[in-house]
Amino acid sequence: MKQQFSKYANSTAKNNFNYCRTCYNHLAGVVGVAITGAMVKRDYLKKLETAYLVTKKGWEWFSQFDISENDFNKSRRAVSRQCIDGTERRPHLAGQLGDKLLEKMLHRGWFKKIENSRELKVTSEGRQALHSYLGMDL
């Protein structure tokens, strides 16, 4: 199930703040919204009113990042929630799960932080991995 990224982004958005950035400690911008959309499309997440329900299939997928449901049992903070993206006006994944996923993706070198900015650069490894893990073409 290949997902065409171009339906999520206009050509002027690539390589700028609106394209890929952090929102607090989770991924946002065109890329963050697209990743969340791909996870919903693949039934890893289900939209609730203001949150996401992580499906059994979703927890299996997140386990590839060494993220498990048990990682989140000790906090009152929401495991997952929808955060309406400031530029895309659609939700991206927030909450503890959104934070942990970005942490793992940064650790794997999928994104590179831009100094003195919330902007992130998608690396070639990240493009390949997002294609492999979510069928996305950036």
Model pLDDT for residues 40-66, shown as the tens digit of each residue = 999 999 999 999 999 999 999 999 999
pLDDT digit string, tens, across residues 81-95: 999 988 889 999 999
Domain residues for the domain of 83 are 3-9+17-137
pLDDT at 107 over 80: yes
pLDDT score of 111: 95
CA atoms within 13 A on the CB side of 18: 12
What global pTM score does this model have?
A: 0.86
- Calpha distance 124→1 (Å, rounded): 21
93 contacts 36 by C-beta, under 8 angstroms: yes
Q: How many domains is the chain built from?
A: 1
